[in-house]
Structure 1
């Protein structure tokens, strides 16, 4: 409930009665408000000093002096903080609100001149005098003309301004007194600044006051006409279908005419500064600025606004001119590579050679390196070590299963949700123009109706072309020539020839047992112990225990499964410690068996499976490393046919037919009837039938198994073989020599037969320790293979065995 104070009726009549102005009055300072004579106005009073002033004035004469502050923020104004001309004001009504503030209805009576402030506490009190207005007789005619202009201009302002009521025109037309007309119109104009109103109030000469008001009306009229013009332009541009954008477009147009800017304008300026600062090539910067100009003319809510803004955001965050300072210290690089990786001598030497050339010629366009090897041999970690040794940023993109060309080149901006490809996204993550960029699993790339990613990589991996790589989304050239690209693959066969031609292949072969032991000792054990929350004092491994894990629980070219088994041992020890057992644990072979169970692989398996005639041990290469390959032969009654099973590929089937054809021409040498084939059916089988097999390197193994079955001479169980055969009996070279030798060794076979032309591979790829452990026979003819691989004939003659009639249902040479 508010308190209300009101004058008696006789005191509120009209406002035309003369007012008596005492020489001293309390002063009420106003913020951003000018009160004119002969006008009513509501006022809000909140300052404690002003509240007290009003309460005392209500009890007295109800007359106060109202003066406007120069600065609205001044809390305790002095005489210097007030305009010198104010208004003698009569308080008609006062409402006191619950929060202590006052609401007043006041009427201006006459102009006052502030002579001197005589006290400021508890409120301002000052000596004042009536400010006499003057009209010279010679100005009468000009005043009449100004009065007409003012009324006419005010009428137009009222008609154009939505803030002014049309009733004001009639009120202004009814006022004949020039001074009162001027005060009424100045008081009615709510859009003009406070300083302008105060200037009208403070001008005592009526003619000058009217001239000033007339100029103000003309200026206000120009602003309103311009606003109306802007509104018409915006409406014509936007149209009826986009009326929801009207207010926003009006604001933009007004800002454009007045040279002012809002949030969107500031954003455009910030984007422009970023574009100019990131160091784009001239062509790219020109395109970016063109897109920015297009964006600045686009409504924020337009569908293309976000697309265009995202595009520019991508352009400004790419490292157009940002490089990591490269440090090429060959000694330091060698230390890093040796510390992170055991062996891999060839790969390390080639990397050091590449860096040496780059150090001497920084502008040299080096080759694209491709690390090829089985899983777990350290291809990806080797690339990380290169980045660390060069102090460059490192980025990795996995290409496995990628089938869409747009994953490399990006989608065009016309598609919803389009983004740059993985190459540009990787560079954004790196925040550098010259990172080490690894493209992992390049042999796992696919292709379908959406394109061929491997074809898109042709430009990326060509040093002669990638300085102008153009992503579909960005559609501007980007220089990739400073990026050190490294690719990895398990096998090169699936890689397109054109893509393979752009890369220099570095083969990373599988590890020997001793190398695995060294890797486990220097890297894997410490890492797994730490990962499982243990300390070296709580858990330790003996070399014999690690050998037991390598031989009995892992058969792989790399060391991933080895690390997995070491982790399994660490988990079991961690559980013991978590349950309260605090005794340190040393892992020895017996503990390995206790914790991991019985060994999964046994060396005696090979000897057991080859003890019967017709079974030979071959060697094969797979993407996961080398493997042993059993070939079984069986002879049955029939009419001269050859059956091949075991999920064999075309090349392997042809090797089997070649083996049989060669032996049919050599039957006399091995005591077999020349017509054996007419009454026999030969079956060659390669176990693990669910696994596809192909390649020519099992040719010598097939011949050996076939001859063993037909002569009854078992194949030695301690020898493995590999090599392609010809119908004339020659043995041709094959690949994957190191992997095959390591596979034989893993299975406890230390004697290998291989083509003589592979002798150079043995000398280059096999370490001296591995060559000392293995006995390798180099041969040129099939006869040499059979001499080395077949056991001597038993007491019964081989000829008798070969020529004996085959009785059903006996099947020889099949190992169950």
Structure 2
């Protein structure tokens, strides 16, 4: 029974070009190479936006002519190929200058025919290599190469093991943020038996730029590579958390707006069924009062703009009451409405004596002020200031003066 059967089916059903998975048969991170299967030159398979790390087992979709020629030329003796990433994924027919120098030597486990112009291969990445010179460009690329040995970390290095534990936690945290990962996958990542494959698996599956992945692959020191991987994982986790928080806030704001709009529509429908929309009735009343005002065309245009602004506001919004009060104030102002002053001093004295007993000095000063207004006749906005503690009659004196002059009395509180 083929140990890859389950994984092969997943590769065939998937639409993506590359999917990494963990095969139980390779949980020990087997990177051993059969030296008898190696030759002086190595077939090179260019990959788009994909960096494969040693220890990873994954299916790859093959569709380009040179890549198809490479896979179909392989026999029982030729099991190893070089997986090399392109610098620019847009290049359809890459040359040597379009490829990174560092790649991964991989063993082809299985070839699956999907169509005449499409194959799927399952490979296990073994060791890093650096190709040196191209010896063949057609029908596919071949080149001389040199295997790159990894500088292993000491088994008793506590700092290295702490870094691996942090990588496990960060990877699991990222997977959980992206969705519901299978329990078996989480258990495998957290197991000590997976330590040798951990860096390769995380490096292969990290959603980062291929250039940064290539830099990570180029690090030969295992401990330094693990530390760099942890830095990338922490950064990507923070970015992912920020994106999710932004999406959550946006979704909450949108849901709240939709809820308010839905409720507002319900209220409007109910009001119309009961005999009209209260908000619209009030707005129509404002417009009706505005028609009776003696204001200028400019003021009328401004008033209409403010009414339209009120129409757009939600009645439950705090701005609605502010705008409503503003329009009420505009309508209450006496636009181009005047009263004729009565400067009859005897009449004014009579009104003051009727309403106030005593206060002779105050009444005398008021009469003098009115006499000046009568004589000059051209004083603009004359002001008479009355001051004193509460309850001595300042307000009532103001009412009496207004009555004496035949003016409307308006009380405006400016305290505070």
Output the TM-score relative to the length of structure 2.
0.54
Instruction: Tell me by how many angstroms 1:206 deviates.
Output: 0.7
Would the alpha carbon gap of residues 472 and 22 (structure 1) be closer, same or farther in structure 2, given more than 3 Å must change?
A: farther
Would the alpha carbon gap of residues 231 and 74 (structure 1) be closer, same or farther in structure 2, given more than 3 Å must change?
A: closer
Matches of 1:171 and 1:74, distance apart in 2: 37
Q: Is residue 31–residue 127 contact of structure 2 (8 Å, CA) maintained in 1?
A: no
Q: 2:121 aligns with which of 101, 104, 127?
A: 104
What corresponds to 1:223 in structure 2? 239
Would the alpha carbon gap of residues 302 and 119 (structure 1) be closer, same or farther in structure 2, given more than 3 Å must change?
A: farther
How many pairs does the alignment contain? 268
Matches of 2:77 and 2:188, distance apart in 1: 33
Can you give the 5+ residue segments of structure 2 that lack an aligned partner in the other structure? Answer: 1-23, 266-276, 309-416
1:165 pairs with 2:182 = yes
1:469 pairs with 2:295 = no
Would the alpha carbon gap of residues 305 and 139 (structure 1) be closer, same or farther in structure 2, given more than 3 Å must change?
A: farther
What corresponds to 2:224 in structure 1? 208
Q: 2:89 aligns with which of 66, 72, 91?
A: 72
Q: Provide Cα deviations, 1:623-650, integer angstroms capped at 9, x if missing partner.
A: xxxxxxxxxxxxxxxxxxxxxxxxxxxx
Matches of 1:201 and 1:142, distance apart in 2: 21
1:154 pairs with 2:171 = yes
Q: Is residue 70–residue 140 contact of structure 2 (8 Å, CA) maintained in 1?
A: yes
Alignment of 1:223-242 (within 5 A): 223-227=239-243, 229-230=245-246, 233=249, 237=252
Matches of 1:180 and 1:450, distance apart in 2: 75
CA-atom RMSD, angstroms?
4.2
Matches of 1:305 and 1:94, distance apart in 2: 62
Structure having the higher helix fraction is 2
Can you give the 5+ residue segments of structure 1 that lack an aligned partner in the other structure? Answer: 1-11, 239-244, 250-297, 307-411, 422-448, 478-816
Q: Provide Cα deviations, 1:526-585, integer angstroms capped at 9, x if missing partner.
A: xxxxxxxxxxxxxxxxxxxxxxxxxxxxxxxxxxxxxxxxxxxxxxxxxxxxxxxxxxxx
Say which one has the larger Rg.
Answer: 1
Q: Provide Cα deviations, 1:700-757, integer angstroms capped at 9, x if missing partner.
A: xxxxxxxxxxxxxxxxxxxxxxxxxxxxxxxxxxxxxxxxxxxxxxxxxxxxxxxxxx
Matches of 1:476 and 1:451, distance apart in 2: 8
SS in 1 for 2:115: coil
What corresponds to 1:199 in structure 2? 215
1:31 pairs with 2:33 = no
Matches of 1:142 and 1:451, distance apart in 2: 77
Would the alpha carbon gap of residues 98 and 153 (structure 1) be closer, same or farther in structure 2, given more than 3 Å must change?
A: closer
Instruction: Tell me by how many angstroms 1:228 deviates.
Output: 5.4
SS in 2 for 1:77: coil
Matches of 2:250 and 2:300, distance apart in 1: 42
1:181 pairs with 2:198 = yes
Q: Is residue 154–residue 169 contact of structure 1 (8 Å, CA) maintained in 2?
A: no
Q: Provide Cα deviations, 1:77-136, integer angstroms capped at 9, x if missing partner.
A: 122221221111122222223351112222112111121222322221111111111136
Output the TM-score relative to the length of structure 1.
0.29
Relative contact order (alpha carbons < 8 A, sep ≥ 6): 1 or 2 greater? 2
SS in 2 for 1:41: strand
Would the alpha carbon gap of residues 16 and 33 (structure 1) be closer, same or farther in structure 2, given more than 3 Å must change?
A: closer
Instruction: Tell me by how many angstroms 1:13 deviates.
Output: 7.3
1:18 pairs with 2:36 = no
Matches of 1:211 and 1:192, distance apart in 2: 16
Q: Is residue 102–residue 131 contact of structure 2 (8 Å, CA) maintained in 1?
A: yes
Q: Is residue 32–residue 126 contact of structure 2 (8 Å, CA) maintained in 1?
A: no
Q: Provide Cα deviations, 1:250-287, integer angstroms capped at 9, x if missing partner.
A: xxxxxxxxxxxxxxxxxxxxxxxxxxxxxxxxxxxxxx
Q: Is residue 24–residue 128 contact of structure 1 (8 Å, CA) maintained in 2?
A: yes
Q: Is residue 42–residue 106 contact of structure 1 (8 Å, CA) maintained in 2?
A: yes
Would the alpha carbon gap of residues 167 and 192 (structure 1) be closer, same or farther in structure 2, given more than 3 Å must change?
A: farther
Matches of 2:286 and 2:240, distance apart in 1: 59
Would the alpha carbon gap of residues 205 and 300 (structure 1) be closer, same or farther in structure 2, given more than 3 Å must change?
A: farther
Matches of 1:305 and 1:70, distance apart in 2: 55
Would the alpha carbon gap of residues 450 and 153 (structure 1) be closer, same or farther in structure 2, given more than 3 Å must change?
A: closer
Q: Provide Cα deviations, 1:667-686, integer angstroms capped at 9, x if missing partner.
A: xxxxxxxxxxxxxxxxxxxx
